Amino acid sequence: MTRPSLLNFFCVGNRTIDLLCGRASVCRLHSSQTMRSVASRAVSGFRPSKVAVVTKTTRCEFEQQRYRFAGLSEVDLTQLLALKGSSYSGLLERHNIHTRNVEHIVKSLKKEGIEVRVVRRGEYDEEVVRWADAIISAGGDGTMLLVASKVFSKDKPIVGVNTDPERSEGHLCLPVHYTHAFSEALERLQRGEFRWQWRQRIRLHLEGTGINPTPVDLHEQQLSLEQHHLAHRITTLERRRDDSFSEPNLLPVRSLNEIFIGESLSSRYINMSKPWHSFCSNPVTFPKHIPSPALTSPSLSVQHRVKYKSLDPHLTFSLHRASYYEISVDDGPWEKQKSSGLSICTGTGSKAWSYNINKLVEQAVEDLLKIGKLQTGLDIPLDPGFIEKVTEEYNQSLVFSPEDQRLFFSIREPIVNRVFSSIRQRGFAKKVCVRSRCWDACMVVDGGTSFEFNDGAIATISISDEDQLRTVLL
Amino acid sequence: MTRPSLLNFFCVGNRTIDLLCGRASVCRLHSSQTMRSVASRAVSGFRPSKVAVVTKTTRCEFEQQRYRFAGLSEVDLTQLLALKGSSYSGLLERHNIHTRNVEHIVKSLKKEGIEVRVVRRGEYDEEVVRWADAIISAGGDGTMLLVASKVFSKDKPIVGVNTDPERSEGHLCLPVHYTHAFSEALERLQRGEFRWQWRQRIRLHLEGTGINPTPVDLHEQQLSLEQHHLAHRITTLERRRDDSFSEPNLLPVRSLNEIFIGESLSSRYINMSKPWHSFCSNPVTFPKHIPSPALTSPSLSVQHRVKYKSLDPHLTFSLHRASYYEISVDDGPWEKQKSSGLSICTGTGSKAWSYNINKLVEQAVEDLLKIGKLQTGLDIPLDPGFIEKVTEEYNQSLVFSPEDQRLFFSIREPIVNRVFSSIRQRGFAKKVCVRSRCWDACMVVDGGTSFEFNDGAIATISISDEDQLRTVLL
């Protein structure tokens, strides 16, 4: 129950030796050799007194809350979901599985005399982080990303438990086995039969932004929605003259998976170019509008929505817009790029979005090897087993260690033409600088938080050991 | 000058023979053999009396208009653009090039006694289409897509002229040569030295939508912005009970390039999860808010914007969300899919977004062939020339004829795991049905118009000869 006061040696692979000295400090020595300390099994393990358990919102809860205000009965909800092809009872089942697994975690913790605080996603904040000795994420990978997003200290361990292994991948969570045997996980932690996994994270510096107005689609002549931003744009100009925005600012976020940069594909002005029903023979009510923050009354009529739509009957917005930017890798020369976005990931993130951007499917590998075979006349195998093997090896080469200090950048769907150069489509780096040439772009951190990243803004993306996230490897 | 009254035979490849009979009707016979009519050179060509020239908005015009209300001088504008790394004089130069090329087109047309109407993007509508015998798109591919989007008749020919060949790709435009020699193009058209190119287009049926409220991010417990949609959701439920929404509706759009389906990555609620300045040591004003339609006054103060932001300080919105849907190809079994979207394109579109989704870069091909070489021990060449050849052949296999009646579907960045099946990642089809399991998705037509496509909605995507767009091949 007491915090370890002895020095503990843990083996953490061939890069570091951890010295866990009480609570206040963690010293780390880097060693390129693998060492196994004889003392590792005899030392105290990890024994937090206060643990916060952050739980995900299940889809069932979400759907229930959505209709809470409408006073729908469960029967109504069931019907409504059925109309959409969803099964309310199915959602309820997943919800119950999650809830049982959370209860199991809480019980196991309490049995050890640990003070437990169960915190829902929406309630999780820095105060919880300060309070806890350790934080357990009870959900899927998304919940882990949320939990990590509020932890800025290397001293605060995070443990992920996958509360619905049949539905969630849980890459960031403990092996599925421990979902139903959390006591066992706890024992191992207490006995020190684990090692710390120091997941590197990305930090972001941003400069040259000032206040960016919302650009209107180039296609659209009507700029009335833009006007109110002009005052701010002028302010930008004036401020720039004062040179008061030239310092790069370190943003208050650390990315565990990746930074994704791209046109935000803002739906703000999504609307059909004309009231569609002037064409359509079978009128269906198709309102698509931007909710005004003032219009929160449930009694809002359809009529009002139609009125809003007519404010901009000709406004169309290009949803798919290529992202334009300039990129400099490891202080190399700036290169213009046009693509559907740019991903910069950690080792942890190399199994996430970046993986999906870069991986090949067997169908593509087969097509390519067929061409290779035709072109060379060599007897390249094309049987499914071989295709699978080659595909798997290729895809696995995209994954690297969460503890690796390098970034991995990928240009998603590069558009190569006369104007844009062709630097490597992907590669490792220590530092990546990006200058936006976008109309309405974002930098998205771990798929959850975004920053405006418009024309002229410069982002510097790097990794610092200070930002590591302490997780466990059982 | 008079409209041709004779029957004209044109050869149009191995699929069709066109009989252009006056103005009122076009008869088409399908033939699988290529035929060349001796009479083709002796017949009348294409002689419109009234031509609409639809022009793009140049970036220069756009930037000028943006700041028109602020009364910025050209010097101010130059400075502001320079701050962003753009060159005002550069934009002006492109603008002048475009303008000169438009003037050249107009002059050439008038010289032939053709009545010309120059129409800006924002002014282009069905009335212009009705008025014109033919429409010239003076811009880039985007302008062509816009022009095509309002043409629903096979009788209305569209001609694209690339007015800035150094900056625009102009895949849908006449060869670059004709940009500066439009009279020559006109002569050839009049002499019949061309053939009609019938570009197939996609039509969309949609059912099961009713009124879809804006979903709130699963991550967010606060649903206040959602409430006002509830009234409409209940209406949906009631209407469904009446079974009044079960008919699939043919949407009033035809897609020349592609339909893209995916989570709209709505920026509606983009905001940081907390007022960021509680963390940040170097405060930078980072407002990111959704403009309310009511706030169109240029004198809107920053203070008001800060107030808006505080309405939802805890609202984060997941920007990168995978798209969930079910897909059935050519009436095959429904398969669950999770990916970053689904593209369904025409032959015309096979060179556009679909191409960028599916193409391989040389770096990937090289990595793959290296693995193949290691695995087989065969002497597979890895020199740049060979890599380039194989890559080019692979990428070219993605392109097919604009006149091909097939659709080509591609699952973008498929996420393959235990839950989701792995049908072909891409392939040809006559018909594709998609059922949305998305929170906040869109169907985007030619990157310009979108339709809500949320949970439960079913789209049927197909090609019909009726919807072909008549363009010219010089």
Residue B242 has pLDDT above 60, yes or no: no
Residue A237 token pair: 């100009």
- The pLDDT-based confidence of A116 (bands split at 50, 70, 90) is very high
Residue B459 token pair: 């789209």
Number of alpha carbons in the 13 Å side-chain half-sphere of residue A423? 21
Residue A41 has pLDDT above 80, yes or no: no
Q: Do A299 and B231 touch (CB under 8 A)?
A: yes
Which residue would you say has higher pLDDT here, A299 or B353?
Answer: B353
C-alpha B95/C-alpha A455 separation (Å) is: 20
Tens digit of each residue's pLDDT (9 = 90 or more) over B344-372: 999 999 999 999 999 999 999 999 999 99
Q: Are B311 and B422 in contact (CB under 8 A)?
A: no
pLDDT at position B449 is 82
Which residue would you say has higher pLDDT here, A450 or B276?
Answer: A450
pLDDT at position A417 is 64
Within B359-473, residue ranges assigned H as helices are: 362-376, 384-396
- Residues of chain A in contact with residue B376, where contact means CB-CB under 8 angstroms, are 380-381
Segment among A76-80, B57-61, B105-109 with least mean pLDDT? A76-80
- The pLDDT-based confidence of B9 (bands split at 50, 70, 90) is very low
**Contacting B residues, span 312-331, partner chain A, CB-CB under 8 Å:** 312, 314, 316-321
By Cβ distance, the residue of B265, B279, B389 closest to A252 is: B279
Residue A180 token pair: 């139903």
**Contacting A residues, span 60-79, partner chain B, CB-CB under 8 Å:** 62, 65-70, 72, 76, 79
Per-residue pLDDT, averaged over A61-81, amounts to 77
- Residues of chain A in contact with residue B62, where contact means CB-CB under 8 angstroms, are 218
C-alpha B234/C-alpha B221 separation (Å) is: 21
Indicate the DSSP class of residue B349. G
- The pLDDT-based confidence of A453 (bands split at 50, 70, 90) is confident
Q: Are A233 and A215 in contact (CB under 8 A)?
A: no
* A447 near B CB under 8 A: yes
* B211 near A CB under 8 A: yes
By Cβ distance, the residue of B318, B414, B451 closest to A448 is: B318
* B419 near A CB under 8 A: yes
pTM: 0.75
Mutation target to probe the A interface, by most A beta carbons within 10 A, among B54, B87, B214, B227 is: B227
Q: What does the radius of gyration of chain A's CA atoms come to, in whole angstroms?
A: 26
Q: Do B66 and A230 touch (CB under 8 A)?
A: yes
- The pLDDT-based confidence of A454 (bands split at 50, 70, 90) is confident
C-alpha B236/C-alpha B208 separation (Å) is: 10
User: Shortest CA distance to B346 belongs to which of B261, B464, B255?
Assistant: B255
Q: Are A244 and A210 in contact (CB under 8 A)?
A: no
Segment among A38-47, A180-189, B135-144, B268-277 with least mean pLDDT? B268-277
pLDDT at position A392 is 96
Q: Are B330 and B427 in contact (CB under 8 A)?
A: no
- Residues of chain A in contact with residue B351, where contact means CB-CB under 8 angstroms, are none
Per-residue pLDDT, averaged over A141-162, amounts to 95
User: Shortest CA distance to A91 belongs to which of B234, B437, B233, B452?
Assistant: B437
Closest residue of B to A75, CA-based? B237
- Residues of chain B in contact with residue A398, where contact means CB-CB under 8 angstroms, are none
pLDDT at position B320 is 55
Residue A226 token pair: 């833009």
pLDDT at position A411 is 94
Q: What is the mean pLDDT of chain B?
A: 75
pLDDT at position B267 is 31
Residue B276 has pLDDT above 90, yes or no: no
pLDDT at position A227 is 40
Backbone angles phi, psi at A371, to 5 degrees: -65, -45
Residue A215 has pLDDT above 60, yes or no: no
Distance between terminal CA atoms of chain A?
Answer: 20
Q: Are A344 and A453 in contact (CB under 8 A)?
A: no
- The pLDDT-based confidence of B12 (bands split at 50, 70, 90) is very low
pLDDT at position A69 is 65
Which residue would you say has higher pLDDT here, B174 or A321?
Answer: B174
Per-residue pLDDT, averaged over B312-334, amounts to 68
Q: Are B119 and B134 in contact (CB under 8 A)?
A: no
pLDDT at position B288 is 35
pLDDT at position B291 is 33
C-alpha B183/C-alpha B38 separation (Å) is: 26
**Contacting A residues, span 370-409, partner chain B, CB-CB under 8 Å:** 371-372, 375-376, 378-381, 386, 389-390, 393-394, 397
Query: Which range in A286-300, B263-277, B351-365, B411-425 is most confidently predicted, on average pLDDT?
Result: B351-365
* Distance between B60 CA and the closest CA of chain A, angstroms: 10
pLDDT at position B80 is 78
* Distance between B150 CA and the closest CA of chain A, angstroms: 10
How much of chain B is in helix, strand and coil states, percent to nearest 5?
A: 30, 25, 45
pLDDT at position B62 is 80
User: Shortest CA distance to B317 belongs to which of B216, B207, B413, B202?
Assistant: B216
Task: Tell me the one-letter amino acid at B403.
Answer: E
Q: How many other C-beta atoms can be found within 10 angstroms of the C-beta atom of residue B360?
A: 21
By Cβ distance, the residue of B169, B211, B240 closest to A285 is: B211
Tens digit of each residue's pLDDT (9 = 90 or more) over B420-439: 556 789 999 999 999 998 87
pLDDT at position A218 is 29
Which residue would you say has higher pLDDT here, A360 or B317?
Answer: A360
Q: Do A361 and B219 touch (CB under 8 A)?
A: no
Mutation target to probe the B interface, by most B beta carbons within 10 A, among A356, A391, A394 is: A356
User: Shortest CA distance to B62 belongs to which of B95, B93, B36, B98?
Assistant: B95
- The pLDDT-based confidence of A290 (bands split at 50, 70, 90) is very low
Identify any residues that bridge with B461 across adjacent strands, giving them in sequence order: B204, B432
Tens digit of each residue's pLDDT (9 = 90 or more) over A272-289: 233 333 333 322 222 333
Residue B388 has pLDDT above 90, yes or no: yes
* Distance between A473 CA and the closest CA of chain B, angstroms: 23
Buried b (16+ CB within 10 A) or exposed e, B111-124: ebebebebbebeeb
Per-residue pLDDT, averaged over A97-123, amounts to 96
Tens digit of each residue's pLDDT (9 = 90 or more) over A217-266: 323 323 333 343 444 444 445 444 444 445 788 999 999 999 999 886 54
Segment among A341-350, B46-55, B164-173 with least mean pLDDT? B164-173
* Distance between B279 CA and the closest CA of chain A, angstroms: 6
- The pLDDT-based confidence of A313 (bands split at 50, 70, 90) is very low
Segment among A219-223, A459-463, B130-134, B311-315 with least mean pLDDT? B311-315
* Distance between B387 CA and the closest CA of chain A, angstroms: 9
Per-residue pLDDT, averaged over B428-456, amounts to 87
Contacts 24+ apart (CB under 8 A), B329-334: B329/B409, B329/B423, B329/B427, B329/B429, B329/B431, B329/B432, B330/B429, B330/B430, B330/B431, B330/B432, B331/B431, B331/B433, B334/B433, B334/B435
By Cβ distance, the residue of A356, A389, A424 closest to B413 is: A356
pLDDT at position B316 is 29
Q: How many other C-beta atoms can be found within 10 angstroms of the C-beta atom of residue A36?
A: 9
- The pLDDT-based confidence of A162 (bands split at 50, 70, 90) is very high
Closest residue of A to B395, CA-based? A368
- The pLDDT-based confidence of B10 (bands split at 50, 70, 90) is very low
- Residues of chain B in contact with residue A251, where contact means CB-CB under 8 angstroms, are 276, 280
Which residue would you say has higher pLDDT here, A62 or B163?
Answer: B163
Segment among A162-171, A360-369, B346-355 with least mean pLDDT? A162-171
pLDDT at position B467 is 97
* B303 near A CB under 8 A: no
**Contacting A residues, span 182-201, partner chain B, CB-CB under 8 Å:** none
Q: Are A160 and A53 in contact (CB under 8 A)?
A: no
If DSSP codes are grouped into helix, strand and coil, which group holds residue B305? helix
Mutation target to probe the B interface, by most B beta carbons within 10 A, among A203, A227, A229 is: A227
Which residue would you say has higher pLDDT here, A67 or B98?
Answer: B98
How far does CA A65 lie from the centroid of its chain? 25
- Residues of chain B in contact with residue A94, where contact means CB-CB under 8 angstroms, are none
pLDDT at position A147 is 96
Q: Show the 3-state SS of B130-162.
A: HHCCEEEEEECHHHHHHHHHCCCCCCCCEEEEE
Q: Are B228 and A291 in contact (CB under 8 A)?
A: yes
Pairs of residues, one from chain A and one from chain B, whose beta carbons lie less than 8 Å apart: 378
* A34 near B CB under 8 A: no
Residue B117 token pair: 């109407």
Residue A414 token pair: 């590069």
Indicate the DSSP class of residue B204. E
Indicate the DSSP class of residue B234. H
Tens digit of each residue's pLDDT (9 = 90 or more) over B205-220: 998 865 433 332 323 3
Q: Is A207 exposed, middle or buried (0-12, 13-18, 19+ CB in 10 A)?
A: middle
By Cβ distance, the residue of B83, B120, B414 closest to A221 is: B120
- Residues of chain B in contact with residue A229, where contact means CB-CB under 8 angstroms, are 291
C-alpha B439/C-alpha B216 separation (Å) is: 8
pLDDT at position B27 is 40
* B113 near A CB under 8 A: no
The interface predicted TM-score (ipTM) is 0.74
Residue A37 has pLDDT above 60, yes or no: no
Residue A267 has pLDDT above 70, yes or no: no
Residue A34 has pLDDT above 90, yes or no: no
Q: Are B77 and B68 in contact (CB under 8 A)?
A: no
* A424 near B CB under 8 A: yes
By Cβ distance, the residue of A142, A264, A316 closest to B267 is: A264
Which residue would you say has higher pLDDT here, B77 or A11?
Answer: B77
Per-residue pLDDT, averaged over B313-318, amounts to 29
Q: Show the 3-state SS of chain A.
A: CCCCCCEEEEEECCCEEEEEECCCEEEEEECCCCCCCHHHHHCCCCCCCEEEEEECCCHHHHHHHHCHHHCCCHHHHHHHHHHCCCCHHHHHHHHHHHHHHHHHHHHHHHHCCCEEEEEEHHHCCHHHHHHCCEEEEEECHHHHHHHHHCCCCCCCCEEEEECCCCCCCCCCCCCHHHHCCHHHHHHHHHHCCCEEEEECCEEEEEECCCCCCCCCCCCCCCCCCCHHHHHHHHHHHHHHHCCCCCCCEECCCCECCEEEEEECCCCCCCCCCCCHHHCCCCCCCCCCCCCCCCCCCCCCCHHHHHHHHHHCCCCCCCCCCCEEEEEEECCCCCEEEEECEEEEECCHHHHCHHHHHHCCCHHHHHHHHHHHHHHHCCCCCCCHHHHHHHHHHHHHCCCCCCCCCCEEEEEECCCCCCCCCCCCCEEEECEEEEEECCCCEEEEECCCEEEECCCCCEEEEEECHHHCEEEEEC
C-alpha A343/C-alpha A231 separation (Å) is: 33
Residue B282 has pLDDT above 60, yes or no: no
C-alpha B187/C-alpha B400 separation (Å) is: 29
C-alpha A18/C-alpha A4 separation (Å) is: 14
**Contacting A residues, span 243-302, partner chain B, CB-CB under 8 Å:** 245, 247, 249-252, 260, 264-268, 270, 272-274, 276, 279-282, 284-288, 290-302
Q: Do B360 and A371 touch (CB under 8 A)?
A: no
Percent of chain A whose pLDDT exceeds 90: 51
- The pLDDT-based confidence of B64 (bands split at 50, 70, 90) is confident
Q: What does the radius of gyration of chain B's CA atoms come to, in whole angstroms?
A: 26
C-alpha B211/C-alpha B315 separation (Å) is: 24
Q: What is the mean pLDDT of chain A?
A: 75
Q: Are A162 and A189 in contact (CB under 8 A)?
A: no
If DSSP codes are grouped into helix, strand and coil, which group holds residue B345? strand
- Residues of chain A in contact with residue B386, where contact means CB-CB under 8 angstroms, are 375
Which residue would you say has higher pLDDT here, A99 or A9?
Answer: A99
